[in-house]
Chain A
């Protein structure tokens, strides 16, 4: 199939871009805008999950691991830059990050050394999660482990990672994570103007990622993924190497999550194991589910909505938030499995079409939820 984007999809991306680039910066004060920027870093994960879970039927409960790996890669670079010998001269070993000094490390661990280079770090942000995902996916998909078992194994992995990061305090900063990050290649990231710029970089990257994912969805690869989700055996019997497609899409989603993690570190100024474990990983799945597991744009709106609800709820009624989130999980699964995008397609789109005087948008049966 030749690469063609439907105008409707482009219009959706355009609307999102206008909302994020023009409307929100005009309406919100810098503090709130920075918060939206933080939410949008999760949207990278959610968009990746649309491809991985919605299209290919692979539910990963370990996306927090990839988000964290990307975030830690960026944080390690920033931390090394903040730990110059002059800035850390009160330590017993100047020139290494402060938490290493507290944990009686006297020299930089070998795997920290390459992160002195910005170029390496930027590549590592995507490569480390992708390679990690590759190893896992290769071992599992080649053995035809899928569905529920894959979900449970990725969840165990999220647990392992968070225990490991918390346990290895000297190398990772332990439960506090890597904090007190200051500059990116000499550019102070803590100022308001820097945060403003980072927000736009983030939005730009996200829009780019969405366009890329739309391309993947429309390509032959995307159609094979959907076919695989619905009848894996038939695709296999048609001569396709099912495992390779799964491995690719899983690694792709992991790399996207890594970008999200790195942008998170840059905008928020720290990275900690609380974004790696089981709970954040599952919450990331709910962003996708709320938005509609088959819709890229829906995933972004779902992420924004859930996080906005979380922030405003837990500001005013901290007690109620967990009830709300739990109820949301149940409601999404039981009542509208296709999420916001599904609601939009069933209720808004036909009416919108009628309103614009067109014969309603092409009838598009809502695809069955992925299994």
Chain B
């Protein structure tokens, strides 16, 4: 399969594929960070996670429409506003969902799966009724379009670089929030021992609501970032949900570093294989390998030592 390429060309191919893999990696990290918080820390299976992403994407679309209509001069910065809107709307809805649905089900994790699947169906239909069944896309501001030529044969897209930067920023923010802030300490305390955390005066209900809200909010930002790469439709969320869950489970549900490591492994594997075989077969093969490794290491790559 390496026939017909010179050594230099092969180098470029691998560099380009590696870069494509890095973008995919950023996307995976964005998708799964929110879920890693909700599933890994709280143990809630949120099947509507994909729909929260799509909600963020639609919010970005709405913001871009508003800017185009009322403030075309400021279009260059609309994206930053859109991300904030996406975070607030998705996070707010997440908190509402936690209050109305999830908090009754903390002792029945498999039932959260069914209930949130129902929620995802409702959200899908709501998107379809409000925004129409057709896919929508946003127009990128000019500075995000185009690409940088690194060498004659290698070039990188600016929006890809932007997604990568954004991912780094969010990952660092989540790290600081979880491991360097008082709130993160409370979350981890509740996760490890809910009763004891409650006994020392942590309001576990409030912590749960905030955690779920922030997880959903990050999903919204991820969706917002997606609009730069592809278009958004009502059912797009379901395409991501399996990947996202596998990334989180593969990395070891409770470990954020594991989530990032597994996102890297899976994305690099997939983008390298995609060059040599059809996209669907690459995907099948990647998923199969992941499932196979999960059989060997059921708890994922990075296991947090917890006394149960």
A-to-B contact residues, CB < 8 Å: 59, 61, 139-140, 143-145, 147-149, 151-153, 155-157, 159-160, 163-164, 166-167, 278-279, 282, 285-286, 289, 319, 322-323, 325-330, 332-334, 337, 369-371
In the complex, chain B residues 212-234 whose Cβ is within 8 Å of any chain A Cβ? none
Q: How far is the CA of A56 from the CA of B123 in the complex (A)?
A: 32
A151 B115 Cβ-Cβ under 8 A: no
Q: How far is the CA of A326 from the CA of B122 in the complex (A)?
A: 5
A322 B125 Cβ-Cβ under 8 A: yes
A148 B121 Cβ-Cβ under 8 A: no
Q: How far is the CA of A160 from the CA of B289 in the complex (A)?
A: 11
A156 B111 Cβ-Cβ under 8 A: no
B295 A163 Cβ-Cβ under 8 A: no
> Taking the complex as formed, is B76 at the interface, i.e. its CB lies under 8 A from any CB of chain A?
no
B118 A326 Cβ-Cβ under 8 A: yes
Q: How far is the CA of A159 from the CA of B115 in the complex (A)?
A: 20
The interface stretch among B14-22, B135-143, B183-191, B238-246 is: B238-246
Q: 1/0 contact trace for B97-132 toward A, CB 8 Å?
A: 000010011011111011101111111111011000
Known A155-B242, A156-B242, A369-B111; judge A330-B101 contact (CB<8 A). Answer: yes
Q: How far is the CA of A328 from the CA of B117 in the complex (A)?
A: 11
> How many B residues touch A, CB cutoff 8 Å?
44
Known A156-B290, A330-B118; judge A322-B242 contact (CB<8 A). Answer: no
B110 A323 Cβ-Cβ under 8 A: no
B-to-A contact residues, CB < 8 Å: 43, 45, 101, 104-105, 107-111, 113-115, 117-126, 128-129, 238, 241-242, 245-246, 249, 278, 280-281, 283-284, 287-288, 290-291, 294-296, 298
B11 to chain A, nearest CB (A): 30
Complex interface: chain A residues within 8 A of B298 (CB): 140, 143-145, 149
Complex interface: chain B residues within 8 A of A329 (CB): 114-115, 117-119, 121
Q: How far is the CA of A286 from the CA of B125 in the complex (A)?
A: 18
B291 A148 Cβ-Cβ under 8 A: no
Complex interface: chain B residues within 8 A of A323 (CB): 121-122, 125-126
A151 B113 Cβ-Cβ under 8 A: yes
B110 A148 Cβ-Cβ under 8 A: yes
Q: How far is the CA of A73 from the CA of B108 in the complex (A)?
A: 37
Q: How far is the CA of A328 from the CA of B122 in the complex (A)?
A: 10
B118 A327 Cβ-Cβ under 8 A: yes
Please give 14 more A-B residue pairs, beta carbons under 8 A apart, in addition to A323-B121, A326-B118.
Answer: A143-B296, A145-B294, A156-B242, A156-B246, A156-B291, A159-B287, A160-B287, A286-B114, A323-B122, A326-B121, A333-B108, A333-B111, A337-B111, A370-B110
